[in-house]
Chain A
Amino acid sequence: MKLRPSLAKWLAVMGVLHGVVACAGFFAPYDPTSQDRKSPYLPPMRVHLMDAQGHFHARPFVYPLRLREGTFDQYEEYLARKERLRFFVSGDRYRLFGFLPFRLHLFGIENIRGYLLGTDGYGRDQFSRLLYGAQVSLLAGLMGAGLTLFVGLCIGGVAGYYGGWRDDVLMRITELFLALPWLYLLFALRAFLPLAVNPLAAFFLIVGVIGTVGWGRPARLVRGVVLSAKERDFVRAARGFGATDGYLLRRHILPQTSSVLLTQAAILVPQYVLAEMTLSFLGLGVPEPVPSLGNLLSNLQQYSVLASYWWMYLPALITVSFFLGYLGLASALQERGEAYKIERSDLGSLP
Chain B
Amino acid sequence: MSNLYEYIKMAVHNIMANKGRSFLTMLGIIIGIASVIAIVSIGEGTKNQMNSEIDDIGGGQIAISMSSDAQTAEEYITADDVEAVRELDGIEGVNVSDSYDGETTTGKGNFTLMVTGEGPDAKLLNNATMKHGVYFGENEVQEGKNVCVLSDSDAKRLFGTDDVVGMSLDVNCYGLTKSLRICGVTTQKENGTFVSYTYEGMPVTVNVPYTTMNEFTGTSDYFFSMSIQADKSLDSQSIADKVVNLLEKRHQCSGEDYFQVQSFQDIMSSMNQMLDMVTAFISFVAGISLLVGGIGVMNIMLVSVTERTREIGIRKSLGAKTSSIMLQFLAEAAILTVIGGLIGIVLGVIGGYAICSIISSSMGMIITPGISLKTIMAATLFSCAVGVFFGIYPAKKAAKLSPIEALRRN
Are A and B part of the same complex? no
